[in-house]
Chains A and B, each alone.
Chain A
Amino acid sequence: ETGVTQSPTHLIKTRGQQVTLRCSSQSGHNTVSWYQQALGQGPQFIFQYYREEENGRGNFPPRFSGLQFPNYSSELNVNALELDDSALYLCASSTTGWQTQYFGPGTRLTVL
């Protein structure tokens, strides 16, 4: 069974640029959620995708957007990067229902 994978591992961008982060969900999981974890903080929910549709969104502006593909992999896009977007971005996959989510290793984004 393959776990959740994310790419790239690290990324450095400058303010105003755009970035795309990628996530492959664990085998058999149809739901993908994205979280932002600033240094020293708990993860914050960005949004969730289920069957290629956005299925819930946290308190993040529209410049954070996403996609889910038929194979359940997902992308997180961030436009007009700001310094405060520097964080660890975590992808988590799960099945429907109330079981736990399994997290990927994360992408460390640094905005200069």
Chain B
Amino acid sequence: ELKVEQNPLFLSMQEGKNYTIYCNYSTTSDRLYWYRQDPGKSLESLFVLLSNGAVKQEGRLMASLDTKARLSTLHITAAVHDLSATYFCAVDRNTGNQFYFGTGTSLTVIP
């Protein structure tokens, strides 16, 4: 069974600081996705990583993928309060858009 683990599970950081969320998965996959979920809301797509070495950046967030290490990272630069949310990584089952989600990282940015 494919397992996807994120760490940390909970992250509290001050505005202006940098931090990295890690996503490890247990099987071969070249496709990794990051989503954001605000409390009581649905999932918002952040990044699509489709090959080894892929790097995507949007604003203060940057995601990367190392398929050999089965590791993806989500780096937060100079955090702001609006980034407070739960972040999920998801791995495709290699059968086409059938995702295994990680445990989620609940991020709180303190002003």
Using Cβ atoms and an 8 Å threshold, which residues of chain A touch B100? 45
Interface residues on A, range: 20 to 34
Using Cβ atoms and an 8 Å threshold, which residues of chain A touch B66? none
A6 to nearest B CB, angstroms?
A: 9
Q: Which of B81-111 contact A (CB under 8 A)?
A: 88, 90, 92-93, 95-104
Q: Do B48 and A42 touch across chains, with their CB atoms under 8 A apart?
A: no
Query: Given A31-B97, A42-B88, A48-B98, are A100 and B45 also a contact pair (CB < 8 Å)?
Result: yes
B78 at the interface (CB under 8 A from A): no
A33 at the interface (CB under 8 A from B): yes
- Of the listed residues A35, A100, A106, the one surrounded by the most CB atoms of chain B closer than 10 A to its CB is A100
B86 to nearest A CB, angstroms?
A: 9
A101 at the interface (CB under 8 A from B): yes
* Contact indicator per residue, chain A 23-63, by CB within 8 Å of chain B (1) or not (0): 00000000101010000111111001010000110110000
